[in-house]
Amino acid sequence: MSGKATSLSFVARHRLWSEEQNEAAVRLRRIVEEKGLDTIRLSFPDQHGILRGKTLVASEALRILESGCSITTTMLAKDTSHRTVFPVFTAGGGFGMKEMQGAADVLMVPDPTTFRVLPWAPTTGWVLCDVHFADGRPVPFATRGLYKSVLNKLAARGYDFVAGLEVEFHVFKVSDPKMQPGDAGQPGEPPEVSLLSHGYQYLTEQRYDQMEPVLELIRRDVVALGLPLRSIEVEFGPSQCEFTFAPTVGLDPADTMVLFRSAVKQICHRHGYHATFMCRPRIPNVVSSGWHLHQSLVSKSDGRNAFMSDTDGEFLSDFGKGYLGGLLDHARAATVFTTPTINGYKRYRSYSLAPDRAIWGRDNRGVMIRVLGGPKDPATRFENRVGEPAANPYLYMASQILSGLDGVDRSIDPGPSADTPYETKASLLPKSLREAVFALNDDPFFRNAMGAELVDYYVHIKNAEIERFQAEVTEWEQREYFEMF
């Protein structure tokens, strides 16, 4: 018996794959052989929603497909400058866990259902991974795993999470890539860029045609990746665009977001462009970018929309009202997940098509939650307009589900529709990342729902980012005080 047990793969031993994943693994092996792939990239989304991982030659990738690929735990200890901000060589590695000390290894375990061949690198395969300790336990700081656990809790209540994405971002032409040795750093110097369009002519065909050459490069490869693209639009600002994606279920919309961001940056870089999902680049005349998340819950048994009302005159079911109330009640504490960068708070401005307070409205673009649909409309949904495109989608979506279900359980009243959103009295959203981190740290709900371990970890990383920022002397300070005093 012992000999038989030890012959089982890591995946089989710990029952990490579903039947669907086992079937996908068979297809993966066949595709690698049929297409003669040379390499396969194994990637996992880190705490910031950035893909990290290793590239293996195809034969080695197939060999370790069910046993996992080692990667150092310090990948989970880094802030947005890629600096390790935990004392990993102390007892517990700064995490209070022996598995995390000494820059020890964990295992990336591929999810074969995510396997793709890269259209811009046609002999390269690409697969998303989940991160596990050597004993099979999921690493608690890996956000894809956290989101999966939230989806499992939702499924136990009989529902699936459905989300559609509207993602704004900028694409520029690179004029100087800043690749001299002196430009390297942590972080390095960003590239110098020029515009592809002047902007402001929102949704005009003229501006679209100016940007069409690069937008077509992106569109072609995003579709070839199998992502559910719906539309390509020019946004209001210079060199700004928006891609929207059809609603999908469960893990798919979050995976779509990390794959899309990574794909766009790679495609653009190969053609001399720079794509950024930074909310508000420090470039004259640019406009902030947002990420609007459309969401609903549907019954697993019959696919019925749980937010839809059956009663004329009632635009939401009681379940939908409670879920909406939960999103508003926990909005301040959830902001660190929806807007996780210092820069993202530059977007929250009154009368700006971006929210500044926790309110909802019926088809109103000035509110935080825009309610769409109505009685007997199976497309009834909530559009959360608070997010920035740099957000980690696994944390963003997990925070939405947890907040909404708490509202359902407590029958939280969302109050009336805010038809004058910038004049309605309501809880204001945090004005800075520091304020958002305080809101999360002091909120007992997320500490209980996500676990104190995860909240403390995330707060530590965000505080490291904030402290580096506060140590910098900005141009504003130099201009304001250097001559005056």
The model's pLDDT over 273-285, given as tens digits with 9 standing for 90+, comes to 999 999 999 999 9
Domain regions of the chain by residue span: 21-139, 151-477
* Number of neighbouring beta carbons within 10 Å of residue 466: 17
Query: What is the mean predicted confidence (pLDDT) over 375-380?
Result: 92
* pLDDT for the residue numbered 103: 87
39: helix, strand or coil: strand
CATH code of 151-477, in short, is 3.30.590.10
Place of tokens 């995490």: 95
Query: What is the mean predicted confidence (pLDDT) over 195-217?
Result: 86
Return the DSSP state at 479: H
42: helix, strand or coil: strand
Whether residue 343 is predicted with pLDDT greater than 50 in this model: the reply is yes
Whether residue 4 is predicted with pLDDT greater than 80 in this model: the reply is no
* pLDDT for the residue numbered 139: 94
* pLDDT for the residue numbered 398: 98
The model's pLDDT over 45-104, given as tens digits with 9 standing for 90+, comes to 999 999 999 999 999 999 999 999 999 989 898 999 899 998 889 988 889 888 888 888
319, 408 Cβ separation under 8 angstroms: yes
Place of tokens 């001559």: 483
Measure the CA angle with vertex 245, ends 242 and 250; round to 5°: 135
240-261 burial: b if 16+ Cβ within 10 Å, else e: bbbbbbebbebbbbbbbbbbbb
The model's pLDDT over 353-366, given as tens digits with 9 standing for 90+, comes to 778 888 898 877 88
Q: What percent of the chain clears pLDDT 70, i.e. is strictly above it?
A: 98
Cross-strand partners of 234: 241
On the question of a cis peptide bond just before residue 284, with omega within 30 degrees of 0, the verdict is no
152-161 burial: b if 16+ Cβ within 10 Å, else e: eebeeeebbb
CATH code of 21-139, in short, is 3.10.20.70
* pLDDT for the residue numbered 357: 87
Whether residue 2 is predicted with pLDDT greater than 60 in this model: the reply is no
* pLDDT for the residue numbered 379: 93
Kindly report the pTM of this predicted structure.
Answer: 0.94
Q: What percent of the chain clears pLDDT 90, i.e. is strictly above it?
A: 78
Q: Do domains 21-139 and 151-477 have the same CATH topology?
A: no
Whether residue 351 is predicted with pLDDT greater than 90 in this model: the reply is no
Whether residue 158 is predicted with pLDDT greater than 70 in this model: the reply is yes
Region of residue 99 (left: phi > 0; alpha: psi -120 to 50; beta: else): alpha
The model's pLDDT over 7-46, given as tens digits with 9 standing for 90+, comes to 899 999 999 999 999 999 999 999 999 999 999 999 999 9
Query: What is the mean predicted confidence (pLDDT) over 162-180?
Result: 95
